[in-house]
A and B are shown apart, each in its own frame.
Chain A
Amino acid sequence: MSTADAVAAVLWVGVTLYAVFGGADFGAGFWSLAAGGGERGVRVRSLIDWAIGPVWESNHVWLIFILVVLWTAFSTAFAALFSTLFIPLSLAAFGIVLRGAGFAFHRIAPGERERRVSQLMFGLASLVTPFFMGTVVGAVASGRVPLGNAEGDPVTSWLNGVSILTGALFVATSAYLAAVFLVNDARRAGDEELERYFNVRALAAAAVAGALAVAGLFVFRADARYFYDGLLGEGLPLVIASILCGGAVFALLHSGRAALARVLAVGALVTMIWAWGVAQYPYLLPERLTISAGAGNYSTLVEILIVFGAAVCLVIPSLGLLYTLTQRSLLEGEVAAPAQKPNAEG
């Protein structure tokens, strides 16, 4: 494995972490939006709020990690992506602003109306942001991003079958992952009705994501041939592992074994992400730029690996401390509800 490959692997670890943690957050936003009004909608949202709680926005630090590693290690690919895909990436950035604002303000908002606006913003942004990110991935997979400054088509590069399907797949996968997580959270909160509520939705989202993935194979075959060949070639073991995990989640949800379903749902996503990576290898931009050709200076790559090592040593113990503290106090029920709002309905 070359140094450039090692840095690409580091980048992929970031992508994987963002897909799992950020994806679950986007999905939670989706369910918050889909819950609608009424008493149950309020309950669904307060469960979501409680479940993603304090670790919520830390998850999105992974996005910054991805961007920084990409532009530092693979500067030319970064420039090509962000100039040709100016529109979807701008829209994704707007989505992130709205989501973040929703996060910052939704609980502290001065009044009920402002709170509702924040929640709506958060929900809508959670829906559109992964979609646009998916169109970007679709543009890469189908080889529509040439090198250079805005050399690709500003519109058709990301508004095409592969991109739209990948965008939809991102939304569905996020929703599926979040629903599986929320089944567990509802159980932890002792709310059987919401447990069933999310169980049904997890199954539905899994079915939609599965259908989109199958449809995706046909679209990729027609329009992203290199990628398709990679998926069914060297990526095949990972694809099969992903399908097995996904199928097992389906069965486990049916039989009510939510805890194991959560682990396997993450497994299905992680194997899918790495199947994508393997399918693209050795290209950063399929058939246009390889990892080794796109990699920056050797000393820069080494520096990234050193910093990544330092990050692992510093960030993981800190995150561990955070999760331990939050989980313990949640489990011990120490987080009393000083400002628990009385239920509107009597």
Chain B
Amino acid sequence: MDLSLPMATDQLLVAREQMAFTLGFHIILASLGVGFPAMMLIANYIGLRREDPVAIELAQRWSKVAAVTFAVGAVTGTVLSFEFGLLWPEFTGRFGQVFGVLFTIEGIFFFLEAIFLTIYIFGWKRLSGWAHFWTGVPVAICGIGGAFSVVAVNSWMNQPQGFTLGADGSVTDVKPLKVIFNDAVPYEVPHMILAGYLVTCFLVASVYAVGMLRGRRDRHHRLGLLIPLTVGCILAPIQFGVGDSAARAIAKDQPIKFAAMECVQTTHRDVTEYIGGRCTSDGIKGGIGIPGLDSFLVGFSTNTKVTGLDTVPPSDRPPANTLLHLAFDFMVGVGSALIALGLWFGFVWWRKRDIPKTKWFLRAVAVSGVAVVLTLEAGWIVTEVGRQPWIAYEVMRTKDAVTASGGVWVTFVLILALYMALGVAAILVLRSMARRWREGESLDSEVPYGPGEGPPAPSGGAGT
């Protein structure tokens, strides 16, 4: 096994690794940025409606957690915008004027989200209940708007359109509306926004499930579990449907990505769907096969023809097909498991108006928090690795987009170290916040965007 550092010899690989790592890190924070404001508003709403101090307290704490994750996400997002130039100057140099249209819109949403999150956190003590609630609503709306803009860029990379490419490679005749509402938007954007919500829901629920497993079964934990779990269990089946139609759309729009996900080597009908296994040049080895199902899922008939990898030369096929296949299966598997969890929860709630008593339920919720994050990464691997070797599908190859500058492996190593530290610090800080809340501190003034302490005491005054 070759463990040597990736040296400058493979510029493309290192650049892709750095992009994958920084994006894979940011996507978790971005998901929380999309979903967390909604959680905090639901808790706030319940608190105001039922005059429930526990729900208000949850909303307060969640808004502070959202502030920390938003602040870290703002940083990792800035790094990504640098990387558009640092890693992919040829791509941005040519197509920046096309997809950039979406980022200008994203900028507004991001700015408004930052402003209203600050107002919301600031407003806990300064605005009356409902007025304060309404200052939080733009945060949730801007989260969705920002997600739309960014994910639509990725959709555009999957279905580049809204421009004309001249013979010399120059871009002319940009049509902003075609870029903004490109063909992959209707399935990719809802899938990712729902993913953001699901990640938030099950991650937050898992935190309270762990607390309850440790014996903290007060109303605070119960409500902290119930709010996100209910939302998550309602959204999980919707996400399953959206994901299913996304897969069908990809079979049509990006048949080679689909073929690699399912390891379909030759174009044929009555294609077997494999669960698990290893992708080889002869098809899947070692998986569980269900004859005809793959064709059925693509066209609702086992007679549907599925495009195979052999329709394009090897240089146009994505790498790491086994990884793609397993990542896709994992996404579908966890999606199904979340629906099962929802059915369990829903059934018991319907009969007893209570959370299932068994510890196994709480354990399952605790595991779901980790599982959703892994699923998020798996889904992102499917869409990104599956699009290779293209950075813009059938328009520009990733190898033609990469920087000619040396030293990418140095920045990659530094970024790895820096982000590890950032991730560890973020987790330690969040844990210490939880501990201090349990000890009765409010942490009003200490969170990012928080009101801060009063003016420092003048000299001579405080020290005496």
**Residues of chain A contacted by B112 (CB below 8 angstroms):** 314-315, 318
Contact of B115 among A101, A303, A315, A338 (CB under 8 A): A315
The answer to whether A154 touches B407, judged by C-beta atoms less than 8 angstroms apart, is: yes
A72 in the interface (beta carbon within 8 A): yes
A83-B96 contact in complex given A96-B79, A104-B68, C-beta closer than 8 Å: no
Inside 8 A of A43's CB, which chain B residues have their CB?
456, 459
CB-based nearest B residue for A345? B463
Chain B residue, CB-CB nearest to A304:
B104
A343 lies within 8 A of B463 (CB): yes
Is chain A's binding surface mostly helix, strand, loop or mixed? Answer: helix
Chain B residues near A311 (CB-CB < 8 A): 107-108, 111
Residue among B76, B171, B446, B447 with the highest chain A CB neighbour number at 10 A: B446
Query: Taking CB as reference atom, which chain A residue is nearest B67?
Result: A104
Residue interface mask B284-321, A partner, CB < 8 A = 1? 00000000000000000000000000000000000000
Residue with the greatest number of chain B CB neighbours at <10 A, chosen from A50, A84, A189, A191: A191
Asked whether any CB of chain A lies closer than 8 Å to the CB of B176, the reply is yes
CB of B452 within 8 A of CB of A54, answer yes
Contact yes or no, A67 B445, CB < 8 A? no
**Pair B100/A71 contact, Cβ less than 8 Å:** yes
Distance between Cα atoms of A79 and B457 in the complex (Å)? 50
Question: How many residue pairs at the A-B interface have CB separations less than 8 Å?
Answer: 306
Question: Which A residues touch B444, using CB under 8 A?
Answer: 338-339
Which chain A residues border B107 with CB–CB below 8 Å?
A: 61, 64-65, 68, 307, 311
Residues in B whose Cβ lies below 8 Å from that of A150: 89, 403-405
Which partner residue on chain A sits nearest B92 by CB separation? A71
| Chain A residue contacts of B460, Cβ below 8 A | 193
Interface residue count on the B side (C-beta < 8 Å): 90
B window 442-464: CB within 8 A of A: 442-460, 462-463
| Alpha-carbon gap, A107 to B446, bound state (A) | 5
Q: What is the minimal beta-carbon distance from A185 to any residue of chain B, in angstroms?
A: 8
Which of A39, A154, A300, A329 has the largest number of chain B CB atoms within 10 A?
Answer: A300
When each residue 55-83 of chain A gets 1 if its CB lies under 8 Å from chain B and 0 otherwise, what string results? 10110110111011101110110111111
A83 CA / B26 CA spacing, docked (Å): 23
A96 to B456, CA, bound (A): 27
In the bound complex, CA of A337 to CA of B445 (Å): 8
Shortest Cβ gap from A248 to chain B (Å) = 28
Chain B contacts of A49 at CB under 8 A?
Answer: 452-453
B94–chain A nearest beta-carbon distance, Å: 7
Closest Cβ of chain B: how far from A17's Cβ, in Å?
Answer: 11
- Across the interface, A303 reaches (CB within 8 A) one of B101, B433, B441, namely B101
Q: Which residues of A contact B101 (CB under 8 A)?
A: 72, 300, 303-304
**Bound-state Cα–Cα, A47 to B107, Å:** 31
Q: Which of A61, A73, A329, A346 contacts B451 (CB 8 A)?
A: A329
Query: Within the complex, what minimum Cβ distance (angstroms) separates B453 from chain A?
Result: 4
A297 with B171, Cβ < 8 A, contacts A54-B449, A100-B75, A329-B126 known: yes
Segment with Cβ contacts to A, from B80-88, B258-266, B332-340: B80-88
- Whether a CB of chain B sits under 8 angstroms from the CB of A214 is no
**In the complex the two chains form, is B97's CB within 8 Å of A100's CB?**
no
Answer whether residue A276 sits at the interface, using C-beta atoms and an 8 A cutoff.
no
A94 interfacial contact with B, CB 8 Å: yes
User: Is A35 an interface residue, CB under 8 A from the partner?
Assistant: no
- Expressed in whole angstroms, the minimum distance between the Cβ of A64 and any Cβ of chain B is 6
Interface residue? B172 (CB, 8 A) = yes
Whether the Cβ atoms of A63 and B78 lie closer than 8 Å is: yes
> Do A335 and B453 touch (CB < 8 A)?
yes
Residue picked from B110, B406, B429, most chain A C-beta under 10 Å: B429
Q: Which residue of A lies closest to B408 (CB)?
A: A86
Given contacts A64-B110, A300-B176, A307-B104, 14 further A-B pairs with CB under 8 A are: A49-B452, A60-B78, A72-B103, A75-B93, A79-B89, A89-B86, A100-B72, A107-B445, A299-B173, A300-B101, A308-B104, A326-B122, A337-B454, A339-B446
**Contact surface of A with B, Cβ cutoff 8 Å:** 39, 43, 46-47, 49-50, 53-55, 57-58, 60-61, 63-65, 67-69, 71-73, 75-76, 78-84, 86-87, 89-90, 92-94, 96-101, 103-105, 107-110, 114, 149-150, 154, 188-194, 296-297, 299-300, 303-304, 307-308, 310-311, 314-315, 318-319, 321-322, 325-326, 329-330, 333-340, 343, 345-346
* CB-defined A-B contacts under 8 Å, sample of 14: A50-B453, A53-B452, A57-B71, A57-B448, A71-B85, A82-B84, A83-B405, A191-B457, A296-B96, A303-B104, A307-B105, A314-B108, A326-B122, A326-B451
3 closest pairs, A vs B, by CB? A82-B85, A72-B100, A79-B93
